[in-house]
């Protein structure tokens, strides 16, 4: 007990309040996790393999300026060890410069080393982005394949929360219903063709996604852009 992959989900637990915790990673997610944890923990160690952070400058500055946050440079975590009651006692870390192994006493360990969406099974049938997330236009769960909708962690680069996944699931069910209704009304067969990739539609999805990213929203969904569904 005491190991988590989500500071926002678990960081405020009494397990970590006023106790030292560690975050493994050196990117934006690690900085964000560390800053969130610093609200509750007595001390936040960022254990990072390199001598420089890989996050954006602004996030790095914010984290480095926080009095409770300390970066443990050029160290990698080897193992976590616990107390008799099953809670975390600390982590064993190795200095990459000289191989020296030491223990860091922490009550919490948070991973911020990336997230791999479980989309391999799609095997290229639906468009994915460079991180393996299913591409959907802002404000919609439509995918590159008409009639296939994606919701939850497989299409959400940023939030990946139970409630946002449930919300996306709700949108997906309504979009699927509208899709079937539109097909029925247009006289088309109600069955969705297996992989009927409409190139024009896919281009619109791409353009809408690129436009949202260009607006500086990054992973954050921009206001919904109307993308007509092909029938």
Ligand X SMILES: Cc1cc2nc3c(=O)[nH]c(=O)nc-3n(C[C@H](O)[C@H](O)[C@H](O)COP(=O)(O)OP(=O)(O)OC[C@H]3O[C@@H](n4cnc5c(N)ncnc54)[C@H](O)[C@@H]3O)c2cc1C
Which residues are near ligand X by CB under 6 A? 4-6, 9, 118, 121, 152-153, 160-163, 165
CB of 118 to ligand X, least distance (A): 5
In sequence order, what are the residues at sequence separation of 6 or more whose Cβ sits closer than 8 angstroms to the Cβ of residue 47?
22, 23, 24, 72, 75, 76, 77, 91, 93, 104
Residue 170 bears catalytic tag: no
Burial class (CB in 10 A: 0-12, 13-18, 19+), 226: exposed
Q: Which two tokens stand for residue 28?
A: 């934006």
In the complex, residue closest to ligand X by CB: 152
Distance CA 75, CA 94 (A): 5
- Cα 31 to Cα 73, 190, 212: the distances in Å are 14, 48, 24
Q: Does residue 10 carry a catalytic annotation? A: yes
- CB of residue 161 to ligand X, shortest distance in Å: 4
User: How far apart are CB 157 and ligand X at their closest, in Å?
Assistant: 12
Nearer to ligand X, 60 or 109 (CB): 109
CB of 35 to ligand X, least distance (A): 18
Comparing CB distances to ligand X, the nearer of 28 and 156 is 156
Q: How far apart are CA 122 and CA 79, in angstroms?
A: 34
Neighbours of 5 (CB within 10 A): 15
Question: Measured from the CB atom, is 67 or 124 closer to ligand X?
Answer: 124
User: Which tokens sit at 151?
Assistant: 């919701």
Nearest residue (CB) to ligand X, 119 versus 204: 119
Nearest C-alpha neighbor of 116 from the set 98, 100, 128, 99: 128
Q: Which residues are tagged catalytic?
A: 6, 9-10
């Amino acid at each position: 007990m005491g190991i988590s992959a989500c500071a926002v989900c678990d960081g405020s637990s009494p397990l970590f309040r006023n106790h030292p915790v560690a975050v493994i990673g050196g990117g934006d997610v690690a900085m964000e996790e560390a800053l969130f944890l610093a609200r509750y923990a007595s001390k936040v160690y960022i254990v990072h393999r390199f001598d420089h952070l890989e996050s954006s400058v602004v996030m790095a500055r914010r984290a480095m300026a926080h009095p409770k946050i300390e970066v443990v440079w050029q160290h990698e975590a080897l193992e976590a060890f616990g107390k008799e009651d099953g809670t975390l006692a600390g982590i064993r870390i190795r200095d990459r410069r000289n191989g020296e192994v030491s223990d860091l006493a922490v009550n919490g360990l948070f991973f911020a080393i990336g997230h791999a969406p479980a989309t391999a099974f799609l095997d290229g049938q639906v468009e994915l982005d460079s991180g393996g997330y299913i591409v959907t236009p802002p404000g919609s769960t439509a995918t590159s394949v008409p009639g296939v909708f994606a919701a939850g962690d497989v299409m959400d680069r940023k939030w990946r929360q139970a409630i946002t996944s449930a919300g996306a699931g709700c949108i997906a069910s309504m979009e699927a219903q509208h899709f079937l209704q539109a097909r029925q009304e247009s006289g088309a067969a109600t069955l969705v063709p297996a992989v009927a990739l409409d190139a024009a539609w896919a281009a619109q999805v791409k353009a809408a996604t690129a436009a949202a990213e260009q607006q500086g929203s990054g992973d954050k969904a921009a206001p919904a852009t109307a993308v007509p569904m092909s029938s």
